Structure 1
Amino acid sequence: MIRGVGSYLPEKVLTNAELAKLVDTSDEWIQQRVGIKERHIAAEGEFTSDLAVAAARKAMAAAGVTADDIDLIIVATTTPDYTFPSAATLVQMKLGMHHGMAFDLQAVCSGFVYAVATADSYLKNGLAKRALVIGAETFSRLLDWTDRGTCVLFGDGAGAVVMDMANDEELAAGRGLLSSALRSDGHHWEKLYVDGGPSTTGKTGFVRMQGAEVFRHAVGKITDVVYSALEQANYTVADLDWFVPHQANKRIIDGAGAKLGLPPEKVVTTVDLHANTSAASVPLALSVAVADGRIKPGDLVMIEAMGGGFTWGASLIRW
């Protein structure tokens, strides 16, 4: 069960108009192609673990728990503070915890969906009792600010959820995480990657993307895992109350919704204000939809994402 949701966005907002002063682009060009109006950028000295902790505290407050109640922390991120230790252990430290286990999960934009499924497995197998699952990124630090094909797409942020096992009454009502479908195919790695790393260049590197190729694969792969998750739980698209997709590109979101036959009013979209925050995008969108009252207890919610690797996945949740 998801007991609480929280999010955090850095204070600095970078608009399309401001970006147009840095690179050959325009507000019209960006909005027309990807539907983004602005994005948040982490401040100097503000790290991924800081964003993660801020979102985690809000999620724990919403769930009515403290760090003493958590025994598993999973941080989905592509932009950890350090090569090691993991961002998750830094979050653990900053929350004042000396117990439990903490680790990072790297599946790029699909990271949060992978992390939710992983936490669910740990909980159901008795390896943990209560999990803090976080998607957090300072993706702006991987951007080549002279490359208009990538620098306009991404932003920074964090989202978190608190998860534990459903009680008998909730299980009887069919609530909780019902199914997950996770996929990857490393043959596509060159279509979306960072051109650096400890073992290759010894440097962080920058995001590189074959945008048309990523777009070509996205809608089909997204719908594949959505249908798989629904089939596992014996539901159909018509049963969904909310579709919370990865917020990468408005045209991809609209294309997936149309292919699934979902009315736009059932699709949660935040890409216009957050841009692509990689592993943080799904929990950020969830947080917005819970906070404004759209997602309510008992609703059937599908989360999905696709990212570099390629990785992609979906989870079906009875809220």
Structure 2
Amino acid sequence: MNGTLSPEPTIDLANTEDAVASVLSSEPRARRGRRRRPRFALWISLVVIGLFTFLPIYWLAVTSVTPDGEVFSFPPRLFPTEITFEHYISVFADPAIFEYLRNSIIVSVITAVLSVVVSMYMAYAFSKFRFRGRTSLMYFVLSSQMFPQALLLVTLYVVFAQFGLLNTYQALIISFTTFTLPLCVWMLKGFFDTLPDDLIEAAKIDGAGHWRTLHSVILPLAAPGLVAAGLFAFVRGWNDFMFALTLAGPEKQTLPPGLVNTFIGETATAWPELMAASLLVSIPVCVAFILLQRYLVGGITAGAVKG
């Protein structure tokens, strides 16, 4: 020991930064690749689903504005070289289309109102009352959905024929309401289950009976569920083809069978006019879904989480 201090080791900052960078970049490439694969697969799935969903709608719109001479051209064209609106003019010039439209509106609106009115009382009873046979009756209502609707067509035809209801609005409304009730009941029951029983107890303390409690307290809170059930019943009556074709005569037919009878013949089919009419009659349902979307989502998902 001569009393001299040894020099302190020096740190090379450049080498240190390179070492840190090499450590950070040493993550296996396979792991980074695995992170990218799910995103890539997700985007591919979204593109495929989007094409599957929107390509028919696009083709329907393109065909409706394509001239007759180019409709059957081969190979088919995704983008028409010429656009015409004569097919829409033909649809608006046909008075039968407006008759079918009126029939669809009458049948669908009454079906929706009747389904909501009947199902809300049934659902409220199943949700808030306890009585013998309640569970069995609930599953009995749900079991009616197990039978194919086409299987009941012959029976309903015979029954309506005996009561003189064929070729009337009543036959269609009763049929559609019968088929929509089970799902509407279970949908509203799930919504009523989410409403606390304390509301009913508070209404009883204030002197309200069951009818007053339901109409003044429960139903205002159940508006999303009522809208969802009504929209489901409306679409069921609007889109039905088989029962509307069989139970209703030419004067009472709704749009689906009416469009088929108008534009599809034995020897030829007016595809551009049919596409134009189909696009026009889809607009009311699309507008209803857009305007009532938040109520529809809230009503359908209300029964999923009980709290």
Output the TM-score relative to the length of structure 2: 0.24
Output the TM-score relative to the length of structure 1: 0.23
**Structure with the higher fraction of residues in helix conformation:** 2
Greater Rg by CA? 2
